[in-house]
Amino acid sequence: MDEQQFFQKLNSLCISKEIFDFLSSVEIMSDTMASGALQRIAEVEMDDSGLKNPEGVLENKVFRALCFQFEFESSKLSNTALLNALQALIKLRIDPRSMLMASLLSEAEERLGKGQLTVKNLCALGESLLELEGPSCATLEQIVNHMQAKDMEMWTPREIVMVYKMLQGTVGEGKQYQDLLNRLNSVTLTIVSQLSPKFTSIILNSLVVLHQTRAVPLITALCRHSVKHIPYFTGSELVNVLEAFIYFGHREQTFTVALETHVPKSIFTMQPQTVSKVMQYCSQKRILSKPIFDAVAEDFISDADRFTTEQIAECIMPFGTLNYLPPSASSLFRKLETVLHARLRHFQPHTLLNLLHSCALIQRYPVNFLPKIFSPYFLQQLQAQPPGLDRTVTTQLTQLFLTVTLECPFYEGPKLLPKYQVKAFVTSDSSLDVHLLKRVKAGLLYLLKKRMYFSSEVSTPYFYTLDIEIKLDEEGFVLPAAQCEEVHRRIALCVDGQNRFCINSHNLLGEEAIKQRHLQLLGYEVVQIPFFEIESLQNCRKMAEYLHKKIFSHTYGLSC
Protein backbone atom coordinates (compact mmCIF):
# COMPACT_ATOMS: atom_id res chain seq x y z
CA MET A 1 0.00 0.00 0.00
CA ASP A 2 1.43 3.41 -0.96
CA GLU A 3 1.34 6.35 1.46
CA GLN A 4 -1.54 8.14 -0.24
CA GLN A 5 -3.81 5.09 0.01
CA PHE A 6 -2.63 4.48 3.56
CA PHE A 7 -3.50 7.98 4.82
CA GLN A 8 -6.79 8.02 2.93
CA LYS A 9 -7.85 4.84 4.73
CA LEU A 10 -6.36 5.92 8.08
CA ASN A 11 -8.19 9.26 8.10
CA SER A 12 -11.52 7.54 7.45
CA LEU A 13 -11.25 5.57 10.73
CA CYS A 14 -12.71 7.15 13.85
CA ILE A 15 -12.02 4.75 16.74
CA SER A 16 -8.70 3.36 17.93
CA LYS A 17 -9.71 -0.32 17.62
CA GLU A 18 -10.39 0.15 13.88
CA ILE A 19 -7.05 1.92 13.50
CA PHE A 20 -5.15 -0.87 15.28
CA ASP A 21 -6.90 -3.54 13.19
CA PHE A 22 -6.00 -1.65 10.03
CA LEU A 23 -2.35 -1.22 11.09
CA SER A 24 -2.12 -4.97 11.80
CA SER A 25 -3.07 -5.65 8.20
CA VAL A 26 -0.32 -3.44 6.75
CA GLU A 27 2.79 -5.54 6.03
CA ILE A 28 5.30 -2.73 5.40
CA MET A 29 5.00 0.71 6.94
CA SER A 30 7.30 3.70 6.41
CA ASP A 31 8.30 5.88 9.36
CA THR A 32 6.06 8.66 8.00
CA MET A 33 3.10 6.26 7.93
CA ALA A 34 3.88 5.05 11.46
CA SER A 35 4.10 8.62 12.87
CA GLY A 36 0.90 9.52 11.00
CA ALA A 37 -0.81 6.55 12.66
CA LEU A 38 0.23 7.84 16.11
CA GLN A 39 -1.14 11.28 15.22
CA ARG A 40 -4.47 9.81 14.11
CA ILE A 41 -4.74 7.76 17.33
CA ALA A 42 -4.14 10.93 19.33
CA GLU A 43 -6.80 12.80 17.33
CA VAL A 44 -9.55 10.21 17.89
CA GLU A 45 -8.70 9.20 21.46
CA MET A 46 -8.02 12.54 23.16
CA ASP A 47 -10.66 14.97 24.42
CA ASP A 48 -10.67 17.79 26.98
CA SER A 49 -10.58 15.35 29.90
CA GLY A 50 -7.67 13.31 28.53
CA LEU A 51 -7.32 9.86 26.99
CA LYS A 52 -10.75 8.26 26.52
CA ASN A 53 -9.54 4.67 26.76
CA PRO A 54 -6.05 4.54 28.34
CA GLU A 55 -5.84 0.77 28.66
CA GLY A 56 -7.22 0.11 25.21
CA VAL A 57 -4.55 2.35 23.66
CA LEU A 58 -1.43 2.22 25.82
CA GLU A 59 -1.57 -1.56 26.37
CA ASN A 60 -2.41 -2.40 22.76
CA LYS A 61 0.31 -4.56 21.18
CA VAL A 62 0.28 -2.59 17.90
CA PHE A 63 0.71 0.69 19.79
CA ARG A 64 3.53 -0.79 21.86
CA ALA A 65 5.23 -2.09 18.73
CA LEU A 66 5.08 1.38 17.16
CA CYS A 67 6.57 2.93 20.29
CA PHE A 68 9.32 0.29 20.38
CA GLN A 69 10.26 1.13 16.79
CA PHE A 70 10.46 4.87 17.53
CA GLU A 71 12.43 4.38 20.75
CA PHE A 72 15.16 2.14 19.34
CA GLU A 73 15.37 3.47 15.77
CA SER A 74 15.10 7.19 16.41
CA SER A 75 18.39 7.91 14.64
CA LYS A 76 17.04 6.34 11.43
CA LEU A 77 13.83 8.39 11.34
CA SER A 78 13.22 11.23 8.91
CA ASN A 79 12.84 14.67 10.48
CA THR A 80 9.12 14.69 9.70
CA ALA A 81 8.50 11.25 11.23
CA LEU A 82 10.58 12.05 14.31
CA LEU A 83 8.80 15.32 15.09
CA ASN A 84 5.31 14.10 14.16
CA ALA A 85 5.76 11.13 16.50
CA LEU A 86 6.99 13.44 19.27
CA GLN A 87 3.95 15.72 18.90
CA ALA A 88 1.53 12.75 18.89
CA LEU A 89 3.06 11.18 22.00
CA ILE A 90 2.95 14.50 23.86
CA LYS A 91 -0.71 14.81 22.93
CA LEU A 92 -1.28 11.25 24.26
CA ARG A 93 0.40 12.39 27.50
CA ILE A 94 3.16 9.82 27.46
CA ASP A 95 5.48 10.37 30.43
CA PRO A 96 8.18 12.90 29.33
CA ARG A 97 10.69 11.03 31.53
CA SER A 98 10.17 7.71 29.73
CA MET A 99 12.96 6.18 27.64
CA LEU A 100 10.79 6.60 24.52
CA MET A 101 10.38 10.36 24.97
CA ALA A 102 13.98 10.84 26.08
CA SER A 103 15.20 9.08 22.95
CA LEU A 104 13.09 11.18 20.58
CA LEU A 105 13.90 14.48 22.34
CA SER A 106 17.60 13.71 22.40
CA GLU A 107 17.62 12.90 18.68
CA ALA A 108 15.64 16.06 17.83
CA GLU A 109 17.96 18.29 19.85
CA GLU A 110 21.03 16.68 18.28
CA ARG A 111 19.69 17.44 14.79
CA LEU A 112 18.86 20.98 15.92
CA GLY A 113 22.45 21.47 17.03
CA LYS A 114 23.73 20.24 13.66
CA GLY A 115 21.41 22.64 11.79
CA GLN A 116 19.58 19.79 10.02
CA LEU A 117 16.01 20.99 10.67
CA THR A 118 13.85 22.93 8.22
CA VAL A 119 11.59 25.82 9.25
CA LYS A 120 8.67 23.40 9.48
CA ASN A 121 10.74 21.05 11.65
CA LEU A 122 11.88 23.90 13.90
CA CYS A 123 8.27 24.98 14.47
CA ALA A 124 7.19 21.41 15.26
CA LEU A 125 10.03 21.00 17.75
CA GLY A 126 9.33 24.44 19.28
CA GLU A 127 5.64 23.59 19.80
CA SER A 128 6.59 20.25 21.39
CA LEU A 129 9.03 21.87 23.81
CA LEU A 130 6.51 24.59 24.71
CA GLU A 131 3.98 21.86 25.49
CA LEU A 132 6.47 19.90 27.62
CA GLU A 133 8.44 22.65 29.38
CA GLY A 134 6.56 25.89 28.80
CA PRO A 135 7.96 29.19 27.50
CA SER A 136 10.93 29.11 29.89
CA CYS A 137 12.48 26.24 27.91
CA ALA A 138 16.13 27.10 27.19
CA THR A 139 16.17 25.30 23.81
CA LEU A 140 13.58 27.75 22.42
CA GLU A 141 16.22 30.43 22.10
CA GLN A 142 18.35 28.05 20.08
CA ILE A 143 15.39 27.31 17.78
CA VAL A 144 14.73 31.05 17.29
CA ASN A 145 18.42 31.66 16.49
CA HIS A 146 18.26 28.98 13.77
CA MET A 147 15.14 30.64 12.36
CA GLN A 148 16.91 34.02 12.35
CA ALA A 149 19.73 32.54 10.31
CA LYS A 150 17.41 31.30 7.57
CA ASP A 151 16.38 33.28 4.48
CA MET A 152 12.94 34.41 5.61
CA GLU A 153 12.06 35.89 2.20
CA MET A 154 12.02 32.35 0.81
CA TRP A 155 9.51 31.04 3.36
CA THR A 156 6.09 29.91 2.14
CA PRO A 157 2.89 31.35 3.67
CA ARG A 158 2.41 28.04 5.48
CA GLU A 159 5.87 28.27 7.07
CA ILE A 160 5.26 31.88 8.11
CA VAL A 161 1.99 30.88 9.76
CA MET A 162 3.73 28.01 11.60
CA VAL A 163 6.35 30.41 13.00
CA TYR A 164 3.66 32.84 14.22
CA LYS A 165 1.82 29.99 15.93
CA MET A 166 4.98 28.76 17.61
CA LEU A 167 5.88 32.26 18.83
CA GLN A 168 2.38 32.60 20.34
CA GLY A 169 3.36 29.93 22.83
CA THR A 170 6.24 32.05 24.17
CA VAL A 171 4.00 34.85 25.50
CA GLY A 172 3.51 33.35 28.95
CA GLU A 173 7.17 33.91 29.83
CA GLY A 174 7.19 37.46 28.56
CA LYS A 175 9.76 36.54 25.90
CA GLN A 176 8.58 37.94 22.63
CA TYR A 177 11.65 37.46 20.45
CA GLN A 178 10.82 40.87 18.98
CA ASP A 179 13.73 40.92 16.52
CA LEU A 180 12.42 37.79 14.83
CA LEU A 181 8.88 39.15 14.95
CA ASN A 182 9.93 42.45 13.35
CA ARG A 183 11.49 40.60 10.44
CA LEU A 184 8.56 38.21 10.21
CA ASN A 185 6.06 41.10 10.17
CA SER A 186 7.98 42.83 7.38
CA VAL A 187 8.16 39.68 5.22
CA THR A 188 4.48 38.87 5.86
CA LEU A 189 3.50 42.34 4.64
CA THR A 190 4.89 41.48 1.20
CA ILE A 191 2.74 38.34 0.82
CA VAL A 192 -0.57 39.47 2.36
CA SER A 193 -2.35 39.22 -0.99
CA GLN A 194 -1.44 35.50 -1.18
CA LEU A 195 -2.94 34.57 2.19
CA SER A 196 -5.95 32.27 2.39
CA PRO A 197 -8.86 32.98 4.78
CA LYS A 198 -7.40 30.48 7.28
CA PHE A 199 -3.89 31.96 7.20
CA THR A 200 -5.21 35.55 7.40
CA SER A 201 -7.20 34.65 10.51
CA ILE A 202 -4.31 32.80 12.18
CA ILE A 203 -1.83 35.63 11.63
CA LEU A 204 -4.25 38.29 12.91
CA ASN A 205 -4.88 36.16 16.00
CA SER A 206 -1.12 35.78 16.55
CA LEU A 207 -0.58 39.53 16.26
CA VAL A 208 -3.22 40.03 18.97
CA VAL A 209 -1.73 37.40 21.30
CA LEU A 210 1.79 38.75 20.72
CA HIS A 211 0.63 42.38 21.31
CA GLN A 212 2.05 43.60 17.98
CA THR A 213 0.42 47.02 18.19
CA ARG A 214 3.34 48.67 16.37
CA ALA A 215 2.98 46.52 13.26
CA VAL A 216 0.49 49.03 11.85
CA PRO A 217 1.20 48.53 8.11
CA LEU A 218 0.78 44.75 8.44
CA ILE A 219 -2.36 45.02 10.59
CA THR A 220 -3.92 47.50 8.14
CA ALA A 221 -3.06 45.31 5.13
CA LEU A 222 -4.44 42.15 6.79
CA CYS A 223 -7.66 43.90 7.85
CA ARG A 224 -8.21 45.18 4.31
CA HIS A 225 -7.34 41.79 2.84
CA SER A 226 -9.84 40.09 5.16
CA VAL A 227 -12.74 41.95 3.49
CA LYS A 228 -12.80 39.68 0.45
CA HIS A 229 -12.61 36.57 2.64
CA ILE A 230 -15.68 37.32 4.80
CA PRO A 231 -17.97 34.84 2.97
CA TYR A 232 -15.30 32.13 3.25
CA PHE A 233 -14.14 32.41 6.88
CA THR A 234 -15.26 29.64 9.21
CA GLY A 235 -17.02 30.82 12.37
CA SER A 236 -13.90 30.62 14.53
CA GLU A 237 -11.78 32.32 11.84
CA LEU A 238 -14.21 35.24 11.62
CA VAL A 239 -14.15 35.52 15.43
CA ASN A 240 -10.34 35.86 15.30
CA VAL A 241 -10.59 38.58 12.65
CA LEU A 242 -13.24 40.52 14.59
CA GLU A 243 -11.17 40.27 17.78
CA ALA A 244 -8.21 41.75 15.88
CA PHE A 245 -10.33 44.65 14.62
CA ILE A 246 -11.47 45.28 18.20
CA TYR A 247 -8.03 44.87 19.81
CA PHE A 248 -6.15 47.08 17.34
CA GLY A 249 -8.93 49.68 17.15
CA HIS A 250 -9.09 49.29 13.38
CA ARG A 251 -12.16 50.31 11.42
CA GLU A 252 -12.68 49.52 7.73
CA GLN A 253 -15.88 50.72 6.06
CA THR A 254 -15.64 48.06 3.33
CA PHE A 255 -15.38 45.39 6.03
CA THR A 256 -18.62 46.59 7.63
CA VAL A 257 -20.35 46.65 4.24
CA ALA A 258 -19.19 43.08 3.56
CA LEU A 259 -20.44 41.99 7.01
CA GLU A 260 -23.81 43.61 6.30
CA THR A 261 -24.10 41.47 3.18
CA HIS A 262 -22.84 38.25 4.78
CA VAL A 263 -24.49 38.20 8.21
CA PRO A 264 -28.19 38.47 7.20
CA LYS A 265 -27.71 35.68 4.61
CA SER A 266 -25.85 33.37 7.00
CA ILE A 267 -27.30 34.26 10.39
CA PHE A 268 -29.28 31.05 10.94
CA THR A 269 -26.23 28.84 10.27
CA MET A 270 -23.69 30.97 12.16
CA GLN A 271 -22.37 29.73 15.49
CA PRO A 272 -23.61 31.67 18.56
CA GLN A 273 -20.03 32.68 19.38
CA THR A 274 -19.68 34.25 15.93
CA VAL A 275 -23.03 36.08 16.18
CA SER A 276 -22.17 37.52 19.60
CA LYS A 277 -18.69 38.57 18.41
CA VAL A 278 -20.20 40.41 15.42
CA MET A 279 -22.46 42.32 17.82
CA GLN A 280 -19.55 43.05 20.17
CA TYR A 281 -17.57 44.41 17.19
CA CYS A 282 -20.48 46.67 16.14
CA SER A 283 -20.98 47.90 19.71
CA GLN A 284 -17.34 48.73 20.38
CA LYS A 285 -16.95 50.47 17.02
CA ARG A 286 -20.30 52.30 17.45
CA ILE A 287 -21.46 50.81 14.15
CA LEU A 288 -25.25 50.84 13.96
CA SER A 289 -25.81 48.39 11.12
CA LYS A 290 -29.56 47.91 10.85
CA PRO A 291 -29.26 44.86 8.52
CA ILE A 292 -27.02 43.10 11.06
CA PHE A 293 -29.02 44.12 14.14
CA ASP A 294 -32.34 43.15 12.53
CA ALA A 295 -30.95 39.75 11.47
CA VAL A 296 -29.53 39.05 14.96
CA ALA A 297 -32.87 39.99 16.53
CA GLU A 298 -34.69 37.49 14.26
CA ASP A 299 -32.11 34.80 15.03
CA PHE A 300 -32.47 35.32 18.78
CA ILE A 301 -36.26 35.22 18.58
CA SER A 302 -36.20 31.94 16.62
CA ASP A 303 -33.57 30.08 18.68
CA ALA A 304 -32.43 31.86 21.83
CA ASP A 305 -31.75 28.59 23.65
CA ARG A 306 -28.58 27.92 21.69
CA PHE A 307 -26.89 30.98 23.21
CA THR A 308 -25.02 30.90 26.52
CA THR A 309 -25.93 33.54 29.10
CA GLU A 310 -22.77 35.51 28.25
CA GLN A 311 -23.59 35.36 24.54
CA ILE A 312 -27.16 36.50 25.21
CA ALA A 313 -25.83 39.61 26.93
CA GLU A 314 -23.31 40.24 24.13
CA CYS A 315 -26.11 40.02 21.53
CA ILE A 316 -28.69 42.19 23.32
CA MET A 317 -26.56 44.89 25.00
CA PRO A 318 -25.55 46.60 21.71
CA PHE A 319 -29.21 47.44 21.05
CA GLY A 320 -29.14 49.59 24.20
CA THR A 321 -25.61 50.89 23.72
CA LEU A 322 -26.37 52.11 20.20
CA ASN A 323 -29.96 53.12 21.04
CA TYR A 324 -31.73 51.02 18.41
CA LEU A 325 -35.02 49.13 18.43
CA PRO A 326 -35.42 46.69 15.51
CA PRO A 327 -38.77 46.19 13.75
CA SER A 328 -39.18 42.98 15.78
CA ALA A 329 -38.48 44.75 19.11
CA SER A 330 -41.67 43.60 20.85
CA SER A 331 -41.00 39.93 19.99
CA LEU A 332 -37.29 40.30 20.80
CA PHE A 333 -37.83 41.62 24.32
CA ARG A 334 -40.69 39.21 25.03
CA LYS A 335 -38.28 36.41 24.11
CA LEU A 336 -35.57 37.93 26.30
CA GLU A 337 -37.97 38.11 29.26
CA THR A 338 -38.93 34.45 28.77
CA VAL A 339 -35.25 33.46 28.66
CA LEU A 340 -34.48 35.50 31.78
CA HIS A 341 -37.31 33.89 33.73
CA ALA A 342 -36.07 30.42 32.74
CA ARG A 343 -32.31 30.98 33.16
CA LEU A 344 -31.95 33.89 35.57
CA ARG A 345 -29.86 31.98 38.11
CA HIS A 346 -27.35 31.01 35.40
CA PHE A 347 -26.38 34.63 34.66
CA GLN A 348 -23.26 35.98 36.33
CA PRO A 349 -24.20 39.02 38.48
CA HIS A 350 -22.27 41.61 36.46
CA THR A 351 -23.49 40.15 33.16
CA LEU A 352 -27.10 40.38 34.37
CA LEU A 353 -26.67 43.99 35.54
CA ASN A 354 -25.07 45.01 32.22
CA LEU A 355 -27.89 43.36 30.29
CA LEU A 356 -30.74 44.92 32.29
CA HIS A 357 -29.09 48.35 32.29
CA SER A 358 -28.77 48.24 28.49
CA CYS A 359 -32.52 47.46 28.26
CA ALA A 360 -33.34 50.54 30.34
CA LEU A 361 -31.35 52.72 27.92
CA ILE A 362 -33.93 52.01 25.20
CA GLN A 363 -37.02 52.16 27.44
CA ARG A 364 -37.41 48.41 27.83
CA TYR A 365 -37.84 48.49 31.58
CA PRO A 366 -36.75 45.30 33.44
CA VAL A 367 -39.19 45.91 36.31
CA ASN A 368 -39.82 42.19 36.93
CA PHE A 369 -36.14 41.66 37.70
CA LEU A 370 -35.32 44.80 39.66
CA PRO A 371 -36.34 43.29 43.05
CA LYS A 372 -33.49 40.84 42.52
CA ILE A 373 -31.04 43.53 41.37
CA PHE A 374 -31.74 45.79 44.36
CA SER A 375 -31.71 42.94 46.89
CA PRO A 376 -28.88 42.94 49.48
CA TYR A 377 -27.91 39.38 48.47
CA PHE A 378 -27.43 40.31 44.79
CA LEU A 379 -25.47 43.45 45.72
CA GLN A 380 -23.19 41.28 47.88
CA GLN A 381 -22.68 38.98 44.88
CA LEU A 382 -21.71 41.98 42.76
CA GLN A 383 -19.27 43.11 45.40
CA ALA A 384 -17.69 39.66 45.67
CA GLN A 385 -16.83 39.39 41.96
CA PRO A 386 -14.46 41.64 39.97
CA PRO A 387 -14.78 44.53 39.36
CA GLY A 388 -16.90 44.64 42.53
CA LEU A 389 -18.99 47.71 43.26
CA ASP A 390 -16.76 50.20 41.44
CA ARG A 391 -18.10 53.56 40.19
CA THR A 392 -19.17 52.17 36.82
CA VAL A 393 -21.25 49.46 38.50
CA THR A 394 -22.80 51.82 41.06
CA THR A 395 -23.55 54.26 38.23
CA GLN A 396 -25.49 51.51 36.44
CA LEU A 397 -27.38 50.64 39.63
CA THR A 398 -28.19 54.28 40.35
CA GLN A 399 -29.32 54.91 36.77
CA LEU A 400 -31.61 51.87 36.94
CA PHE A 401 -33.04 53.23 40.19
CA LEU A 402 -33.52 56.69 38.67
CA THR A 403 -35.15 55.10 35.60
CA VAL A 404 -37.84 53.30 37.58
CA THR A 405 -38.36 56.38 39.75
CA LEU A 406 -38.91 58.68 36.77
CA GLU A 407 -40.28 56.35 34.11
CA CYS A 408 -41.99 53.52 36.02
CA PRO A 409 -44.02 55.18 38.80
CA PHE A 410 -46.05 51.96 39.11
CA TYR A 411 -42.96 50.08 40.39
CA GLU A 412 -43.44 49.25 44.07
CA GLY A 413 -40.58 46.83 44.68
CA PRO A 414 -37.40 47.31 46.71
CA LYS A 415 -35.41 50.52 46.18
CA LEU A 416 -31.67 50.92 45.87
CA LEU A 417 -30.28 51.83 49.28
CA PRO A 418 -28.59 55.28 49.41
CA LYS A 419 -25.21 53.76 50.32
CA TYR A 420 -25.07 52.13 46.86
CA GLN A 421 -25.98 55.33 44.98
CA VAL A 422 -23.36 57.56 43.38
CA LYS A 423 -23.44 61.34 43.69
CA ALA A 424 -22.67 61.82 39.99
CA PHE A 425 -22.79 59.44 37.04
CA VAL A 426 -19.54 58.26 35.50
CA THR A 427 -19.23 59.29 31.87
CA SER A 428 -16.44 58.35 29.48
CA ASP A 429 -13.66 60.92 29.14
CA SER A 430 -14.24 61.10 25.40
CA SER A 431 -17.99 61.77 25.76
CA LEU A 432 -17.64 65.57 25.91
CA ASP A 433 -16.20 67.24 22.81
CA VAL A 434 -14.19 69.99 24.51
CA HIS A 435 -13.44 71.81 21.25
CA LEU A 436 -17.12 71.86 20.27
CA LEU A 437 -18.11 73.03 23.77
CA LYS A 438 -15.60 75.88 23.51
CA ARG A 439 -17.13 77.04 20.20
CA VAL A 440 -20.66 76.95 21.65
CA LYS A 441 -19.55 78.91 24.73
CA ALA A 442 -17.95 81.52 22.46
CA GLY A 443 -21.23 81.80 20.55
CA LEU A 444 -23.21 82.19 23.79
CA LEU A 445 -20.83 84.86 25.01
CA TYR A 446 -21.36 86.74 21.74
CA LEU A 447 -25.14 86.34 22.15
CA LEU A 448 -25.55 87.06 25.88
CA LYS A 449 -22.65 89.56 26.13
CA LYS A 450 -21.50 88.39 29.57
CA ARG A 451 -20.07 85.09 30.77
CA MET A 452 -22.12 85.34 33.99
CA TYR A 453 -25.35 84.35 32.19
CA PHE A 454 -24.49 80.71 31.61
CA SER A 455 -22.45 78.01 33.30
CA SER A 456 -20.77 74.94 31.86
CA GLU A 457 -20.14 71.40 33.09
CA VAL A 458 -22.70 71.86 35.87
CA SER A 459 -23.23 69.16 38.48
CA THR A 460 -26.88 68.61 39.38
CA PRO A 461 -28.58 66.99 42.40
CA TYR A 462 -29.86 64.37 39.97
CA PHE A 463 -26.54 62.61 39.18
CA TYR A 464 -26.15 64.09 35.69
CA THR A 465 -23.68 66.77 34.62
CA LEU A 466 -25.00 69.44 32.25
CA ASP A 467 -22.81 70.64 29.39
CA ILE A 468 -24.29 74.15 29.67
CA GLU A 469 -27.10 75.52 31.85
CA ILE A 470 -29.07 78.73 31.31
CA LYS A 471 -31.64 79.99 33.85
CA LEU A 472 -34.69 82.11 32.99
CA ASP A 473 -37.14 83.97 35.19
CA GLU A 474 -40.91 83.88 34.83
CA GLU A 475 -40.87 86.55 32.13
CA GLY A 476 -38.21 84.76 30.09
CA PHE A 477 -35.28 86.97 31.08
CA VAL A 478 -31.87 85.31 31.39
CA LEU A 479 -30.68 85.19 34.99
CA PRO A 480 -27.10 85.12 36.23
CA ALA A 481 -25.93 81.52 36.45
CA ALA A 482 -25.16 81.88 40.17
CA GLN A 483 -28.69 83.01 41.03
CA CYS A 484 -30.85 80.40 42.76
CA GLU A 485 -34.04 82.40 43.48
CA GLU A 486 -36.86 83.19 41.09
CA VAL A 487 -35.63 80.58 38.60
CA HIS A 488 -38.68 79.68 36.53
CA ARG A 489 -37.06 77.69 33.72
CA ARG A 490 -33.81 75.79 33.43
CA ILE A 491 -32.40 75.14 29.96
CA ALA A 492 -29.93 72.29 29.59
CA LEU A 493 -27.82 72.55 26.45
CA CYS A 494 -26.51 69.17 25.32
CA VAL A 495 -23.47 69.82 23.15
CA ASP A 496 -23.35 66.51 21.33
CA GLY A 497 -20.08 65.85 19.50
CA GLN A 498 -19.47 62.90 17.20
CA ASN A 499 -18.54 60.64 20.12
CA ARG A 500 -22.12 60.75 21.39
CA PHE A 501 -23.50 59.34 18.15
CA CYS A 502 -23.19 56.06 16.32
CA ILE A 503 -20.42 56.26 13.75
CA ASN A 504 -21.42 57.95 10.46
CA SER A 505 -24.89 58.49 11.88
CA HIS A 506 -27.18 61.02 13.56
CA ASN A 507 -28.40 58.34 15.98
CA LEU A 508 -27.59 59.22 19.61
CA LEU A 509 -25.93 56.57 21.74
CA GLY A 510 -28.04 55.01 24.48
CA GLU A 511 -26.23 56.66 27.40
CA GLU A 512 -26.84 60.14 25.95
CA ALA A 513 -30.45 59.37 24.95
CA ILE A 514 -31.37 58.29 28.49
CA LYS A 515 -29.65 61.37 29.96
CA GLN A 516 -31.67 63.77 27.78
CA ARG A 517 -34.86 61.81 28.49
CA HIS A 518 -34.28 61.98 32.25
CA LEU A 519 -33.38 65.66 32.22
CA GLN A 520 -36.71 66.43 30.55
CA LEU A 521 -38.56 64.38 33.15
CA LEU A 522 -36.66 66.25 35.88
CA GLY A 523 -38.02 69.55 34.55
CA TYR A 524 -35.21 70.80 32.34
CA GLU A 525 -35.86 72.15 28.88
CA VAL A 526 -33.38 70.11 26.88
CA VAL A 527 -31.88 71.77 23.82
CA GLN A 528 -29.72 69.53 21.72
CA ILE A 529 -26.77 71.12 19.92
CA PRO A 530 -25.54 68.31 17.63
CA PHE A 531 -22.19 68.60 15.87
CA PHE A 532 -23.70 68.18 12.41
CA GLU A 533 -25.78 71.33 12.79
CA ILE A 534 -22.91 73.61 13.80
CA GLU A 535 -19.75 72.20 12.20
CA SER A 536 -20.22 74.43 9.13
CA LEU A 537 -20.70 77.65 11.17
CA GLN A 538 -17.55 79.67 10.54
CA ASN A 539 -17.57 82.40 13.20
CA CYS A 540 -19.04 83.51 16.53
CA ARG A 541 -21.71 85.67 14.91
CA LYS A 542 -23.12 82.75 12.92
CA MET A 543 -22.93 80.51 15.98
CA ALA A 544 -24.79 83.17 18.02
CA GLU A 545 -27.51 83.41 15.35
CA TYR A 546 -27.89 79.63 15.40
CA LEU A 547 -28.07 79.52 19.22
CA HIS A 548 -30.60 82.37 19.29
CA LYS A 549 -32.95 80.45 16.99
CA LYS A 550 -32.31 77.17 18.81
CA ILE A 551 -32.68 78.37 22.42
CA PHE A 552 -34.74 81.52 22.25
CA SER A 553 -37.30 81.02 19.54
CA HIS A 554 -38.97 84.28 20.68
CA THR A 555 -37.37 87.41 22.03
CA TYR A 556 -35.40 87.43 25.26
CA GLY A 557 -33.96 89.94 27.64
CA LEU A 558 -31.29 90.33 30.30
CA SER A 559 -32.02 90.96 33.97
CA CYS A 560 -30.39 94.04 35.41
Q: How far apart are CA 513 and CA 452, in angstroms?
A: 29
Q: How far apart are CA 456 and CA 440, in angstroms?
A: 10
Question: How distant is the alpha carbon of residue 102 from its chain centre?
Answer: 42
Q: What is the mean pLDDT of residues 124-143?
A: 87
Q: What is the mean pLDDT of residues 156-161?
A: 92
Supply the pLDDT for residue 557.
45
Q: What is the mean pLDDT of residues 507-516?
A: 97
pLDDT surpassing 70 at residue 556: no
Cβ neighbours around 149 below 10 Å, total: 9
Supply the pLDDT for residue 419.
93
Supply the pLDDT for residue 170.
81
What residues contact residue 370 under an 8 Å CB cut-off, 6+ apart? 356, 400, 404, 411, 413, 414
pLDDT in tens, 104-120: 999 999 999 999 999 99
Supply the pLDDT for residue 541.
94
Supply the pLDDT for residue 555.
54
The pTM of the full predicted model, rounded to 2 decimals, is: 0.86
Q: What is the mean pLDDT of residues 396-404?
A: 96
Supply the pLDDT for residue 558.
42
Q: What is the per-residue DSSP string for 210-231?
A: TT-TT-HHHHHHHHHHHGGGGG
Q: What is the mean pLDDT of residues 236-244?
A: 97
pLDDT confidence of 176, banded at 50, 70, 90?
A: low
Angle between helices 139-149 and 99-113 (to 10 degrees): 40
pLDDT > 90: percent of the chain? 81
Could you give all domains of the chain from N- to C-terminal order, each with its CATH number? Answer: 431-552 (3.40.960)
pLDDT in tens, 450-470: 999 999 999 999 999 999 999
Let me know: does 274 contact 239? Beta carbons within 8 Å.
Answer: yes
Mean pLDDT of the chain: 93
pLDDT in tens, 276-291: 999 999 999 999 999 9
Supply the pLDDT for residue 441.
96
Supply the pLDDT for residue 560.
36
pLDDT surpassing 50 at residue 247: yes
